[in-house]
């Protein structure tokens, strides 16, 4: 019987050289080794929580070292039993996600099976992607349009962006007009591509409704997190006033917490993040829960390539897949070189399909880009925006 014998938690980044937005300037990689020398990898998100998540991963390691990595159900139940705040603690669910992903990677390698096969097999060969992160340092409609044309020229057929600059909580007519000019310029620049509008959960319901009423004319594929994530009744009011599809879910931390969104017709597209949602199996389950409501899935995917590989395995296996977020075109070189085994070409992902996650991790990058500490903090620009767009 296999046992988990070694657990390494690696923080990666470029430190002061990093030009990514703060939420993506570090990633946490888990390297898990079994008694037979099989290595599995997982990833946890950061978002100005690098060290809290890192420390929680150390606590999960204490619980799981010596366990059988293929007994994933039992191991995750033990984590749930011992983690008092797990259903609502992003630190705990993120740490648990990294370990669940690594255990599935190992299990797939033991049995010679890709994770998507373990979920029942592939329903598609290619996975449509949309670009995010491409609009750094954009403020004017012309700047957005120019960069949008560049992304579409590389084969992308959909792109998401936040046009609201520094508006927060409330928004006035001048700011709405500017956002409308930005969205209109992008729409004209990339006529055949789908556009997706990111609200970043920044507005109260009244402001979100006013902004969305002016932006609906551009027929977005969806509007993401239109209101503050803790204002559920405001979201319902937004739904009653706006016809555009609503997407959300990156801050929802397990499948049970989605039930109210389903039963209240609060959402059209869910966006759980596999690296803070307790992992791959929970993501697969919530996709199945969403099916009878006619709700589609577009997983949040904003950190690193191990996250991408894990997410693509689920994309292949679910019936109600819509589209997959991708930051690959905006990554620094070290992230691009960290993992091989999947590719993004002509606006679609393809997964090679090897055992486990189906990817190979570049150990040289793991060693060369080790860092420690929190990601940078910029008091004039929140950590969740694309760099250079809030000022």
Q: Which of 178, 200, 228, 348 is catalytic?
A: 200
> Which pLDDT belongs to residue 322?
98
Same domain for 165 and 85, yes or no, is no
Same domain for 47 and 146, yes or no, is no
Mean pLDDT, residues 194-201: 98
> Which pLDDT belongs to residue 266?
98
CATH number of the domain where residue 211 is located: 3.20.20.120
Q: Is 200 a catalytic residue?
A: yes
Same domain for 63 and 134, yes or no, is no
Nearest to 169 by CA among 233, 228, 242: 228
> Which pLDDT belongs to residue 12?
96
Mean pLDDT, residues 56-76: 98
> Which pLDDT belongs to residue 375?
87
Which range is least confidently modeled, 285-294, 303-312, 333-342, 380-389? 380-389
Same domain for 103 and 135, yes or no, is no
44, part of any domain = yes
> Which pLDDT belongs to residue 378?
80
Same domain for 198 and 84, yes or no, is no
386, part of any domain = no
**Residue 281 pLDDT class (50, 70, 90 cuts):** very high
Same domain for 206 and 225, yes or no, is yes
Domain final residue, candidates 55, 81, 113: 113
Per-residue model confidence as pLDDT tens digits over 222-243: 999 999 999 999 999 999 999 9
Strands 246-248 and 269-270 turn out to be parallel
364, part of any domain = no
Predicted confidence (pLDDT) at residue 129 exceeds the cutoff of 80? yes
20, part of any domain = yes
390, part of any domain = no
383, part of any domain = no
Same domain for 20 and 51, yes or no, is yes
Q: Which of 178, 228, 300, 348 is catalytic?
A: 300
25, part of any domain = yes
Same domain for 131 and 232, yes or no, is yes
Same domain for 174 and 321, yes or no, is yes
Same domain for 236 and 202, yes or no, is yes
Domain final residue, candidates 72, 94, 113: 113
Q: Give me the domain span that covers residue 208.
A: 117-356
CATH number of the domain where residue 19 is located: 3.30.390.10
**Residue whose token pair is 């007994």:** 71
384, part of any domain = no
Give me the percent of the chain exceeding a pLDDT of 90: 94
Same domain for 158 and 71, yes or no, is no
Same domain for 209 and 340, yes or no, is yes
- pTM of the full structure: 0.97
> Which pLDDT belongs to residue 172?
98
Q: Is 300 a catalytic residue?
A: yes
Mean pLDDT, residues 107-135: 98
**Residue 321 pLDDT class (50, 70, 90 cuts):** very high
CA dist 352 and 316 (Å) reads 12
How many separate domains does the chain show? 2
Per-residue model confidence as pLDDT tens digits over 80-96: 999 999 989 999 999 99
Per-residue model confidence as pLDDT tens digits over 6-65: 999 999 999 877 777 878 899 999 999 999 999 999 999 998 899 999 999 999 999 999
């Amino acid at each position: 019987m296999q046992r988990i014998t070694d657990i390494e938690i690696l923080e990666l980044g470029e430190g002061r050289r990093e030009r990514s937005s703060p939420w993506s300037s570090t990633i946490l990689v888990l390297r898990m080794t079994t008694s037979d020398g099989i290595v599995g990898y997982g990833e946890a998100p950061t978002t100005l929580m690098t060290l809290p998540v890192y420390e929680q991963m150390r606590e999960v390691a204490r619980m799981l070292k010596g366990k059988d990595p293929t007994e994933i159900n039992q191991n995750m139940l033990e984590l749930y039993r011992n983690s008092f705040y797990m259903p609502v603690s992003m630190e705990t669910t993120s740490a648990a996600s990294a370990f669940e992903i690594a255990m599935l990677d190992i299990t797939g390698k033991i049995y010679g099976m890709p994770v998507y096969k373990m979920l029942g097999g592939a329903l598609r060969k290619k996975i449509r992607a949309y670009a995010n992160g491409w609009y750094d340092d954009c403020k004017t409609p012309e700047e957005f349009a120019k960069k949008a044309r560049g992304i579409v020229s590389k084969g992308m057929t959909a792109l998401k962006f936040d046009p609201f600059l520094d508006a927060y909580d409330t928004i006035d007519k001048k700011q709405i007009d500017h956002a409308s000019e930005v969205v209109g310029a992008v729409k004209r620049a990339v006529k055949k591509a789908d556009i997706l509008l990111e609200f970043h959960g920044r507005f109260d319901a009244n402001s979100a409704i006013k902004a969305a009423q002016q932006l609906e004319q551009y027929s977005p594929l969806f509007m993401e997190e239109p209101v503050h994530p803790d204002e559920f009744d405001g979201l319902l009011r937004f739904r009653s006033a706006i016809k555009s599809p609503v997407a959300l879910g990156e801050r929802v931390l397990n499948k049970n917490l989605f039930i109210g969104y389903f039963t209240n017709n609060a959402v059209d597209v869910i966006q759980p993040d596999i690296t803070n949602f307790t992992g791959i199996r929970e993501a697969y389950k919530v996709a199945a829960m969403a099916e009878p409501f006619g709700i589609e899935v577009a997983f949040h995917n904003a950190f690193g390539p191990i996250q991408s590989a894990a997410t693509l395995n689920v994309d292949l296996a679910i019936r109600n897949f819509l589209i997959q977020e991708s930051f690959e075109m905006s990554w620094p070189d070290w992230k691009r070189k960290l993992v091989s085994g999947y590719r993004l070409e002509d606006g679609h992902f393809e997964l090679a399909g090897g055992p486990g996650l189906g990817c190979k991790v570049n150990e040289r990058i793991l060693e060369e880009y080790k860092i420690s500490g929190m990601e940078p903090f910029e008091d004039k620009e929140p950590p969740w925006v694309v760099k250079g767009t809030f000022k």
